[in-house]
Structure 1
Amino acid sequence: MSPQPATVPAMVRTRIRAAVRRPARVSPQEAEDRALLLRLLSLLLQYPDAGLASARPVLSATVAALPPSPAAEHLADFTAWFSGQEPDALERHYVEMFDLRRKSSLYLTYYLHGDTRRRGMALLTLAQRYRAAGWDTDGGELPDHLPVVLEFAALTGARTGEAPLRQHRRGLQLIHRALTDADSPYRHVLAALLTLLPPPTAGDLEAVTELAAQGPPTEEVGLDSYGTYGEGEFAQPGTFVPPEPAPPTLVPPLSTPEGPR
Protein backbone atom coordinates (compact mmCIF):
# COMPACT_ATOMS: atom_id res chain seq x y z
CA MET A 1 0.00 0.00 0.00
CA SER A 2 1.45 3.41 -0.99
CA PRO A 3 1.87 6.02 1.77
CA GLN A 4 -1.03 8.40 2.30
CA PRO A 5 -0.36 12.12 1.63
CA ALA A 6 0.69 14.07 4.68
CA THR A 7 -2.26 16.42 4.13
CA VAL A 8 -4.74 13.62 4.87
CA PRO A 9 -5.78 13.85 8.55
CA ALA A 10 -4.28 11.16 10.76
CA MET A 11 -7.71 9.73 11.69
CA VAL A 12 -8.62 9.36 8.01
CA ARG A 13 -5.31 7.66 7.23
CA THR A 14 -5.91 5.24 10.11
CA ARG A 15 -9.38 4.37 8.78
CA ILE A 16 -8.03 3.84 5.28
CA ARG A 17 -5.38 1.43 6.55
CA ALA A 18 -7.96 -0.42 8.63
CA ALA A 19 -10.26 -0.74 5.63
CA VAL A 20 -7.46 -2.18 3.50
CA ARG A 21 -6.61 -4.79 6.16
CA ARG A 22 -10.25 -5.64 6.98
CA PRO A 23 -11.54 -8.91 5.51
CA ALA A 24 -13.46 -8.34 2.29
CA ARG A 25 -17.14 -9.26 2.08
CA VAL A 26 -17.60 -12.71 0.61
CA SER A 27 -20.51 -14.65 -0.80
CA PRO A 28 -22.01 -17.59 1.14
CA GLN A 29 -20.22 -20.03 -1.18
CA GLU A 30 -16.91 -18.22 -0.74
CA ALA A 31 -17.41 -18.26 3.04
CA GLU A 32 -18.08 -22.00 2.92
CA ASP A 33 -14.97 -22.62 0.80
CA ARG A 34 -12.89 -20.51 3.16
CA ALA A 35 -14.19 -22.37 6.21
CA LEU A 36 -13.26 -25.67 4.54
CA LEU A 37 -9.74 -24.37 3.87
CA LEU A 38 -9.34 -23.30 7.49
CA ARG A 39 -10.59 -26.66 8.76
CA LEU A 40 -8.15 -28.48 6.47
CA LEU A 41 -5.32 -26.30 7.74
CA SER A 42 -6.32 -27.12 11.30
CA LEU A 43 -6.33 -30.85 10.60
CA LEU A 44 -3.05 -30.88 8.71
CA LEU A 45 -1.27 -29.03 11.53
CA GLN A 46 -2.33 -31.52 14.17
CA TYR A 47 -0.08 -34.30 15.40
CA PRO A 48 -0.17 -37.06 12.76
CA ASP A 49 -1.43 -39.84 14.99
CA ALA A 50 -2.89 -43.09 13.65
CA GLY A 51 -6.30 -41.51 13.07
CA LEU A 52 -4.94 -38.63 11.01
CA ALA A 53 -2.57 -40.91 9.11
CA SER A 54 -5.43 -43.20 8.14
CA ALA A 55 -7.43 -40.20 6.89
CA ARG A 56 -4.76 -39.16 4.39
CA PRO A 57 -6.60 -40.45 1.29
CA VAL A 58 -9.71 -38.46 2.25
CA LEU A 59 -7.67 -35.34 3.01
CA SER A 60 -5.82 -35.57 -0.31
CA ALA A 61 -9.07 -36.04 -2.22
CA THR A 62 -10.63 -33.06 -0.43
CA VAL A 63 -7.66 -30.85 -1.25
CA ALA A 64 -7.74 -31.98 -4.89
CA ALA A 65 -11.42 -30.96 -5.10
CA LEU A 66 -10.86 -27.43 -3.79
CA PRO A 67 -11.56 -24.50 -6.12
CA PRO A 68 -8.34 -23.24 -7.71
CA SER A 69 -6.47 -20.79 -5.47
CA PRO A 70 -2.93 -20.17 -4.23
CA ALA A 71 -3.91 -21.80 -0.92
CA ALA A 72 -5.18 -24.92 -2.70
CA GLU A 73 -1.92 -25.18 -4.65
CA HIS A 74 0.15 -25.03 -1.45
CA LEU A 75 -2.02 -27.67 0.20
CA ALA A 76 -1.72 -29.95 -2.84
CA ASP A 77 2.07 -29.71 -2.56
CA PHE A 78 1.86 -30.65 1.11
CA THR A 79 -0.55 -33.57 0.75
CA ALA A 80 1.58 -35.04 -2.05
CA TRP A 81 4.39 -35.36 0.50
CA PHE A 82 2.12 -36.19 3.43
CA SER A 83 0.49 -39.11 1.66
CA GLY A 84 3.79 -40.74 0.72
CA GLN A 85 5.43 -40.87 4.16
CA GLU A 86 5.53 -43.73 6.62
CA PRO A 87 3.47 -42.93 9.75
CA ASP A 88 6.44 -43.11 12.13
CA ALA A 89 8.43 -40.77 9.85
CA LEU A 90 5.55 -38.29 9.91
CA GLU A 91 5.45 -38.37 13.70
CA ARG A 92 9.21 -37.84 14.03
CA HIS A 93 9.18 -34.95 11.59
CA TYR A 94 6.25 -33.27 13.34
CA VAL A 95 7.92 -33.49 16.75
CA GLU A 96 11.18 -32.14 15.36
CA MET A 97 9.51 -29.19 13.64
CA PHE A 98 6.93 -28.12 16.21
CA ASP A 99 7.93 -29.50 19.60
CA LEU A 100 11.72 -29.16 19.56
CA ARG A 101 12.13 -25.81 17.77
CA ARG A 102 11.12 -22.54 19.36
CA LYS A 103 10.90 -20.62 16.09
CA SER A 104 8.28 -22.97 14.68
CA SER A 105 6.23 -23.67 17.80
CA LEU A 106 2.48 -23.66 17.15
CA TYR A 107 1.66 -21.70 20.33
CA LEU A 108 1.02 -18.23 18.95
CA THR A 109 1.08 -16.03 22.05
CA TYR A 110 4.68 -17.10 22.64
CA TYR A 111 5.84 -14.99 19.69
CA LEU A 112 3.99 -11.90 20.86
CA HIS A 113 4.63 -12.12 24.60
CA GLY A 114 7.37 -14.71 25.17
CA ASP A 115 7.79 -16.06 28.69
CA THR A 116 6.11 -13.13 30.42
CA ARG A 117 3.06 -12.51 32.57
CA ARG A 118 1.39 -10.88 29.58
CA ARG A 119 1.22 -14.25 27.86
CA GLY A 120 -0.92 -15.66 30.63
CA MET A 121 -3.36 -12.77 30.21
CA ALA A 122 -3.35 -13.23 26.43
CA LEU A 123 -4.28 -16.90 26.86
CA LEU A 124 -7.10 -15.97 29.21
CA THR A 125 -8.39 -13.33 26.79
CA LEU A 126 -8.37 -15.81 23.94
CA ALA A 127 -10.26 -18.41 25.98
CA GLN A 128 -12.83 -15.75 26.88
CA ARG A 129 -13.22 -14.89 23.19
CA TYR A 130 -14.06 -18.52 22.47
CA ARG A 131 -16.63 -18.68 25.25
CA ALA A 132 -18.22 -15.39 24.19
CA ALA A 133 -18.73 -16.86 20.71
CA GLY A 134 -20.40 -19.91 22.23
CA TRP A 135 -17.51 -22.25 21.43
CA ASP A 136 -16.25 -24.56 24.16
CA THR A 137 -12.92 -26.27 23.45
CA ASP A 138 -12.28 -29.69 24.92
CA GLY A 139 -9.42 -28.31 27.01
CA GLY A 140 -6.86 -30.68 25.51
CA GLU A 141 -4.69 -27.83 24.21
CA LEU A 142 -3.93 -24.25 25.14
CA PRO A 143 -6.24 -21.79 23.36
CA ASP A 144 -3.38 -20.31 21.32
CA HIS A 145 -2.41 -23.63 19.71
CA LEU A 146 -2.65 -22.91 15.99
CA PRO A 147 -4.94 -25.84 15.07
CA VAL A 148 -7.35 -24.65 17.80
CA VAL A 149 -7.23 -21.05 16.52
CA LEU A 150 -7.86 -22.28 12.97
CA GLU A 151 -10.83 -24.40 14.03
CA PHE A 152 -12.34 -21.38 15.78
CA ALA A 153 -11.85 -19.31 12.62
CA ALA A 154 -13.52 -22.00 10.50
CA LEU A 155 -16.54 -22.16 12.82
CA THR A 156 -17.00 -18.45 13.50
CA GLY A 157 -16.22 -16.69 10.23
CA ALA A 158 -13.79 -14.14 8.86
CA ARG A 159 -14.59 -11.06 10.89
CA THR A 160 -14.63 -12.51 14.42
CA GLY A 161 -13.11 -15.94 13.95
CA GLU A 162 -10.03 -14.85 12.03
CA ALA A 163 -9.21 -11.89 14.29
CA PRO A 164 -6.72 -13.94 16.38
CA LEU A 165 -4.95 -15.03 13.18
CA ARG A 166 -4.62 -11.43 12.04
CA GLN A 167 -3.41 -10.41 15.50
CA HIS A 168 -0.66 -13.05 15.38
CA ARG A 169 0.29 -12.56 11.75
CA ARG A 170 3.92 -11.83 12.58
CA GLY A 171 4.22 -15.04 14.56
CA LEU A 172 2.72 -16.98 11.66
CA GLN A 173 5.22 -15.34 9.31
CA LEU A 174 8.06 -16.41 11.59
CA ILE A 175 6.81 -20.00 11.72
CA HIS A 176 6.69 -20.06 7.92
CA ARG A 177 10.21 -18.65 7.70
CA ALA A 178 11.54 -21.23 10.18
CA LEU A 179 9.86 -24.12 8.35
CA THR A 180 11.22 -22.84 5.04
CA ASP A 181 14.73 -22.60 6.48
CA ALA A 182 14.36 -26.20 7.71
CA ASP A 183 13.07 -27.28 4.28
CA SER A 184 10.02 -28.79 5.94
CA PRO A 185 6.99 -29.58 3.76
CA TYR A 186 4.87 -28.01 6.51
CA ARG A 187 5.98 -24.69 5.06
CA HIS A 188 3.31 -25.24 2.41
CA VAL A 189 0.58 -25.36 5.07
CA LEU A 190 1.73 -22.08 6.59
CA ALA A 191 2.08 -20.56 3.12
CA ALA A 192 -1.54 -21.55 2.39
CA LEU A 193 -2.67 -19.88 5.60
CA LEU A 194 -0.76 -16.68 4.89
CA THR A 195 -2.53 -16.31 1.52
CA LEU A 196 -5.81 -15.97 3.46
CA LEU A 197 -4.55 -13.05 5.57
CA PRO A 198 -3.89 -9.42 4.64
CA PRO A 199 -0.44 -8.98 3.05
CA PRO A 200 2.33 -8.07 5.50
CA THR A 201 3.38 -4.47 5.83
CA ALA A 202 6.99 -3.34 5.78
CA GLY A 203 6.69 -3.02 9.56
CA ASP A 204 5.50 -6.61 9.83
CA LEU A 205 8.46 -7.93 7.86
CA GLU A 206 10.91 -5.84 9.87
CA ALA A 207 9.39 -7.07 13.13
CA VAL A 208 9.62 -10.71 11.96
CA THR A 209 13.30 -10.27 11.12
CA GLU A 210 13.93 -8.77 14.55
CA LEU A 211 11.92 -11.53 16.23
CA ALA A 212 13.91 -14.20 14.39
CA ALA A 213 17.18 -12.61 15.50
CA GLN A 214 16.37 -11.70 19.10
CA GLY A 215 13.44 -13.92 20.07
CA PRO A 216 10.35 -12.83 21.99
CA PRO A 217 10.38 -11.10 25.40
CA THR A 218 11.56 -13.12 28.37
CA GLU A 219 10.71 -12.97 32.04
CA GLU A 220 11.41 -15.44 34.80
CA VAL A 221 7.81 -16.40 35.48
CA GLY A 222 5.55 -19.27 34.58
CA LEU A 223 2.01 -19.14 33.27
CA ASP A 224 0.21 -20.65 36.23
CA SER A 225 -2.01 -17.55 36.35
CA TYR A 226 -3.82 -19.26 33.48
CA GLY A 227 -4.01 -22.45 35.50
CA THR A 228 -2.37 -24.81 33.02
CA TYR A 229 1.23 -25.64 33.77
CA GLY A 230 2.00 -28.32 36.28
CA GLU A 231 -0.59 -30.67 34.77
CA GLY A 232 1.48 -32.08 31.93
CA GLU A 233 0.46 -29.43 29.41
CA PHE A 234 2.82 -27.63 27.05
CA ALA A 235 5.46 -25.27 28.37
CA GLN A 236 7.99 -23.60 26.09
CA PRO A 237 11.56 -24.85 26.53
CA GLY A 238 13.29 -22.81 29.20
CA THR A 239 10.08 -21.52 30.74
CA PHE A 240 10.15 -21.32 34.53
CA VAL A 241 7.41 -23.54 35.92
CA PRO A 242 6.84 -23.16 39.66
CA PRO A 243 6.96 -26.39 41.70
CA GLU A 244 3.79 -27.93 43.00
CA PRO A 245 2.80 -26.38 46.36
CA ALA A 246 3.76 -28.38 49.42
CA PRO A 247 0.96 -29.96 51.45
CA PRO A 248 -0.20 -27.83 54.40
CA THR A 249 1.62 -28.30 57.67
CA LEU A 250 -0.50 -29.97 60.33
CA VAL A 251 -0.52 -27.94 63.53
CA PRO A 252 -1.08 -29.98 66.74
CA PRO A 253 -4.06 -28.91 68.84
CA LEU A 254 -3.45 -26.46 71.64
CA SER A 255 -3.15 -27.92 75.12
CA THR A 256 -4.50 -26.50 78.34
CA PRO A 257 -3.82 -27.46 81.93
CA GLU A 258 -6.97 -29.53 81.78
CA GLY A 259 -5.63 -31.46 78.82
CA PRO A 260 -5.92 -31.25 75.05
CA ARG A 261 -8.90 -29.35 73.63
Structure 2
Amino acid sequence: MPAFEVLYQAAALCLTYPDDEFRARLPLLREAAPQLREFTDHAAVTDARELAAHYVQVFDFDERHSLYLSWWQDGDTRRRDMSLVRFEDLYRAHGLEFTGEELPDFLPAVLEFAARTGNTDLLTDHRAGLERLRAGLTAFGTPYACVLDAVCATLPPVRTGARS
Protein backbone atom coordinates (compact mmCIF):
# COMPACT_ATOMS: atom_id res chain seq x y z
CA MET A 1 0.00 0.00 0.00
CA PRO A 2 1.36 3.47 -0.83
CA ALA A 3 2.36 5.72 2.06
CA PHE A 4 -0.51 7.94 3.16
CA GLU A 5 1.01 9.09 6.44
CA VAL A 6 0.65 12.81 5.71
CA LEU A 7 -2.99 12.39 4.73
CA TYR A 8 -3.72 10.35 7.87
CA GLN A 9 -2.09 12.95 10.14
CA ALA A 10 -3.96 15.78 8.42
CA ALA A 11 -7.26 13.88 8.59
CA ALA A 12 -6.68 13.24 12.30
CA LEU A 13 -6.32 16.97 12.88
CA CYS A 14 -9.41 17.74 10.79
CA LEU A 15 -11.51 15.31 12.83
CA THR A 16 -10.61 16.79 16.21
CA TYR A 17 -12.43 19.69 17.83
CA PRO A 18 -11.63 22.82 15.78
CA ASP A 19 -9.80 24.96 18.33
CA ASP A 20 -7.44 27.89 17.72
CA GLU A 21 -4.49 25.52 17.08
CA PHE A 22 -6.48 23.80 14.35
CA ARG A 23 -7.30 27.13 12.71
CA ALA A 24 -3.62 28.14 12.82
CA ARG A 25 -2.69 24.89 11.05
CA LEU A 26 -5.25 25.21 8.25
CA PRO A 27 -2.85 26.65 5.63
CA LEU A 28 -0.36 23.83 6.31
CA LEU A 29 -3.12 21.19 6.22
CA ARG A 30 -4.39 22.60 2.93
CA GLU A 31 -0.98 22.34 1.31
CA ALA A 32 0.07 19.03 2.86
CA ALA A 33 -3.12 17.12 2.04
CA PRO A 34 -4.79 18.37 -1.14
CA GLN A 35 -7.32 15.52 -0.80
CA LEU A 36 -8.80 17.46 2.15
CA ARG A 37 -9.06 20.86 0.46
CA GLU A 38 -12.84 20.79 0.29
CA PHE A 39 -12.91 20.54 4.07
CA THR A 40 -9.95 22.85 4.80
CA ASP A 41 -11.31 25.53 2.45
CA HIS A 42 -14.69 25.32 4.18
CA ALA A 43 -13.07 25.52 7.62
CA ALA A 44 -10.96 28.51 6.59
CA VAL A 45 -13.99 30.63 5.63
CA THR A 46 -16.31 29.49 8.42
CA ASP A 47 -16.56 31.53 11.61
CA ALA A 48 -14.67 29.78 14.44
CA ARG A 49 -17.72 29.55 16.73
CA GLU A 50 -19.90 28.28 13.90
CA LEU A 51 -17.34 25.61 12.98
CA ALA A 52 -17.05 24.50 16.63
CA ALA A 53 -20.84 24.37 17.02
CA HIS A 54 -21.12 22.32 13.83
CA TYR A 55 -18.48 19.85 15.10
CA VAL A 56 -20.45 19.37 18.33
CA GLN A 57 -23.72 18.97 16.41
CA VAL A 58 -22.23 16.39 14.06
CA PHE A 59 -20.11 14.29 16.40
CA ASP A 60 -21.43 14.77 19.92
CA PHE A 61 -25.18 14.46 19.41
CA ASP A 62 -25.61 11.70 16.87
CA GLU A 63 -24.40 8.12 17.38
CA ARG A 64 -24.61 7.59 13.62
CA HIS A 65 -21.55 9.84 13.42
CA SER A 66 -19.50 8.17 16.14
CA LEU A 67 -15.75 8.68 15.84
CA TYR A 68 -15.18 5.62 18.09
CA LEU A 69 -14.38 2.70 15.81
CA SER A 70 -15.24 -0.09 18.24
CA TRP A 71 -18.71 1.38 18.65
CA TRP A 72 -19.42 0.51 15.02
CA GLN A 73 -18.47 -3.12 15.62
CA ASP A 74 -19.52 -3.75 19.21
CA GLY A 75 -22.03 -1.02 20.03
CA ASP A 76 -22.41 -0.20 23.68
CA THR A 77 -21.74 -3.73 24.95
CA ARG A 78 -19.25 -5.44 27.24
CA ARG A 79 -17.53 -6.83 24.15
CA ARG A 80 -16.35 -3.31 23.42
CA ASP A 81 -13.99 -3.41 26.43
CA MET A 82 -11.98 -6.20 24.83
CA SER A 83 -11.86 -4.30 21.56
CA LEU A 84 -10.44 -1.26 23.37
CA VAL A 85 -7.76 -3.44 24.94
CA ARG A 86 -6.80 -4.63 21.45
CA PHE A 87 -6.28 -1.03 20.33
CA GLU A 88 -4.05 -0.34 23.34
CA ASP A 89 -2.10 -3.59 22.82
CA LEU A 90 -1.38 -2.68 19.20
CA TYR A 91 -0.22 0.79 20.21
CA ARG A 92 2.11 -0.75 22.81
CA ALA A 93 3.45 -3.29 20.32
CA HIS A 94 4.64 -0.33 18.28
CA GLY A 95 6.28 1.35 21.26
CA LEU A 96 3.49 3.85 21.82
CA GLU A 97 1.55 4.39 25.00
CA PHE A 98 -1.96 5.71 24.59
CA THR A 99 -2.46 8.58 27.00
CA GLY A 100 -5.11 10.64 25.24
CA GLU A 101 -8.20 12.08 26.87
CA GLU A 102 -10.26 10.05 24.44
CA LEU A 103 -10.63 6.29 24.21
CA PRO A 104 -7.99 4.47 22.13
CA ASP A 105 -10.48 3.74 19.33
CA PHE A 106 -11.09 7.47 18.69
CA LEU A 107 -10.64 7.82 14.92
CA PRO A 108 -8.22 10.78 15.10
CA ALA A 109 -6.01 8.74 17.47
CA VAL A 110 -6.14 5.74 15.13
CA LEU A 111 -5.27 7.95 12.16
CA GLU A 112 -2.35 9.45 14.05
CA PHE A 113 -1.18 5.94 14.96
CA ALA A 114 -1.33 4.94 11.27
CA ALA A 115 0.55 8.12 10.32
CA ARG A 116 3.32 7.51 12.86
CA THR A 117 3.76 3.78 12.31
CA GLY A 118 2.51 3.09 8.79
CA ASN A 119 0.32 0.36 10.31
CA THR A 120 -3.19 0.52 8.88
CA ASP A 121 -4.49 -2.68 10.49
CA LEU A 122 -6.98 -0.85 12.72
CA LEU A 123 -8.33 1.18 9.82
CA THR A 124 -8.58 -1.90 7.62
CA ASP A 125 -10.16 -4.01 10.37
CA HIS A 126 -12.79 -1.31 10.92
CA ARG A 127 -13.29 -0.51 7.25
CA ALA A 128 -17.00 -1.36 7.26
CA GLY A 129 -17.60 0.98 10.21
CA LEU A 130 -15.66 3.73 8.46
CA GLU A 131 -17.91 3.28 5.44
CA ARG A 132 -21.02 3.54 7.61
CA LEU A 133 -19.63 6.68 9.24
CA ARG A 134 -18.78 8.12 5.82
CA ALA A 135 -22.30 7.39 4.56
CA GLY A 136 -23.84 8.98 7.64
CA LEU A 137 -21.76 12.12 7.28
CA THR A 138 -22.57 12.33 3.57
CA ALA A 139 -26.30 11.95 4.25
CA PHE A 140 -26.07 14.63 6.95
CA GLY A 141 -24.50 16.98 4.40
CA THR A 142 -21.46 17.92 6.45
CA PRO A 143 -18.08 18.87 4.97
CA TYR A 144 -16.54 16.30 7.35
CA ALA A 145 -17.71 13.66 4.87
CA CYS A 146 -14.90 14.58 2.47
CA VAL A 147 -12.35 13.79 5.19
CA LEU A 148 -13.77 10.27 5.44
CA ASP A 149 -13.92 10.06 1.64
CA ALA A 150 -10.17 10.72 1.47
CA VAL A 151 -9.30 8.25 4.22
CA CYS A 152 -11.53 5.49 2.82
CA ALA A 153 -10.05 5.98 -0.65
CA THR A 154 -6.67 4.82 0.74
CA LEU A 155 -8.00 1.55 2.13
CA PRO A 156 -8.80 -1.76 0.46
CA PRO A 157 -12.48 -2.48 -0.22
CA VAL A 158 -14.70 -3.73 2.57
CA ARG A 159 -14.23 -7.46 3.09
CA THR A 160 -17.33 -9.58 2.62
CA GLY A 161 -18.60 -10.64 6.00
CA ALA A 162 -16.78 -7.83 7.85
CA ARG A 163 -18.53 -7.07 11.12
CA SER A 164 -17.60 -3.49 11.89
Which bracket does the TM-score occupy, shorter chain normalised?
over 0.9
The one-letter amino acid of 1:39's match is Q
Q: Are 1:114 and 2:72 an aligned pair?
A: no
Match of 2:27 in 1: 57
Relative to structure 1, the CA distance from residue 203 to residue 128 in structure 2 (aligned partners, 3 Å threshold; closer, same or farther) is closer
CA RMSD of aligned residues (A): 1.6
Q: Which runs of 5+ in 2 are unaligned?
A: none
Considering Cα pairs closer than 8 Å and 6+ residues apart, tell me whether 1 or 2 has the greater RCO: 2
Moved beyond 4 Å, runs of 4+ = 201-204
Residues 7 and 32 in structure 2, CA contact (< 8 A), matched pair in contact too: no
| Structure having the higher Rg | 1
Match of 1:241 in 2: none
Q: Are 1:174 and 2:132 an aligned pair?
A: yes
Q: Are 1:165 and 2:123 an aligned pair?
A: yes
The alignment of Structure 1 onto Structure 2 pairs a total of residues equal to: 164
Match of 2:87 in 1: 126
Greater fraction of residues in helix: 2
Residues 6 and 33 in structure 2, CA contact (< 8 A), matched pair in contact too: no
Write out per-residue CA displacement over residues 168-226 of structure 1, whole angstroms, 9 at most, x where no aligned residue: 1111111111111110000000000110111235656xx78xxxxxxxxxxxxxxxxxx
Deviation at 1:76, TM superposition (A): 1.6
The one-letter amino acid of 2:137's match is L
* Structure-to-structure mapping, 1:25-174, within 5 angstroms: 26=2, 31=3, 34-64=4-34, 72=35, 75-157=36-118, 161-174=119-132
Deviation at 1:137, TM superposition (A): 2.5
Q: Which runs of 5+ in 1 are unaligned?
A: 1-23, 65-71, 209-261
The one-letter amino acid of 2:32's match is T
Write out per-residue CA displacement over residues 105-127 of structure 1, whole angstroms, 9 at most, x where no aligned residue: 10110110011111011101111
